[in-house]
Amino acid sequence: MSLQILLNVVLAFLWMFIKVSYGPIDFIKGYIFGLLVIFVLRRYFQTRFYVYRIWSFVKLTLIFFKELLLSNIAIIKIVLKPKLDMRPGIFALQTDLTKDWQILLLSSLITLTPGTLVISVSDDNKILFVHAMNLGEIETEINNIKNTFERAILEVSG
């Protein structure tokens, strides 16, 4: 991905040198033309066309904000309820992610989402221990996390 971006910047500079004008507008024009060239030649690269990956990163950020809002609404509900009748607990979450930065991202996402907080990561980086504020059905919670966050992170890295 970084190789493609670097190539795109080089193509933009090439465009500026061909036009013999060095303003930011020319850079942007050259960047767009370079993007077109890379899109045409995309099957010669090892990785995907990099705009897809940037798009999935934007999607991940949007998911993050949405979940942050929902988690705050859940916290407000629990705190302002007259009776403390939540059922906290720690559950184990098997994760398919392998790289360190993916696990870091996943645990930050879990920490900022409704009613869950990561306590510990097992030594072999395969299990996350998550403290849940309101432990309903564990299976559904795990499936929620898996379907939204893990898939989004895998899309960014894949």
Partner 1 sequence: MSLIVNFLIGFFILAGAFLCLIATFGVIRLPDVYTRNHAASKATTLGVMFILVGTFIYFYSFLDHFNSRLILGFVFLFMTSPISGHLINRSAYNSGVKLWDRSVRDDLKTYNEAKEKNRF
Q: Is residue 127 at the binding interface for partner 1, with CB under 8 A as the rule?
A: yes
Task: Tell me the site size for partner 1, rule CB under 8 A.
Answer: 32
88 Cα distance to chain centroid = 27
Q: What are phi and psi of 120, to 5 degrees?
A: -155, 155
Q: Is residue 94 at the binding interface for partner 1, with CB under 8 A as the rule?
A: no
Residue 64: CB minimum distance to partner 1, A: 8
Among 120, 143, 147, 154, binds partner 1 (CB under 8 A): 120
Among 86, 142, 151, 157, binds partner 1 (CB under 8 A): 86
Strands (E), the chain: 89-94, 116-121, 127-132
Residues 6 or more apart whose Cβ sits within 8 Å of residue 148: 63, 67
Q: Is residue 112 at the binding interface for partner 1, with CB under 8 A as the rule?
A: yes
Q: What are phi and psi of 114, to 5 degrees?
A: -50, 115
Q: Is residue 143 at the binding interface for partner 1, with CB under 8 A as the rule?
A: no
Q: Is residue 3 at the binding interface for partner 1, with CB under 8 A as the rule?
A: no
Q: Is residue 89 at the binding interface for partner 1, with CB under 8 A as the rule?
A: yes
Rounded CA separation 9/70 (Å): 39
C-alpha torsion sign, points 41, 43, 46, 49 = positive
Residue with tokens 């392998």: 98
Q: Is residue 57 at the binding interface for partner 1, with CB under 8 A as the rule?
A: no
Q: Is residue 95 at the binding interface for partner 1, with CB under 8 A as the rule?
A: no
Sites of contact with partner 1 (CB under 8 A): 68-69, 71-72, 75-76, 78-80, 84, 86-92, 107-108, 111-112, 115, 117-120, 122, 127, 129, 131, 133, 135
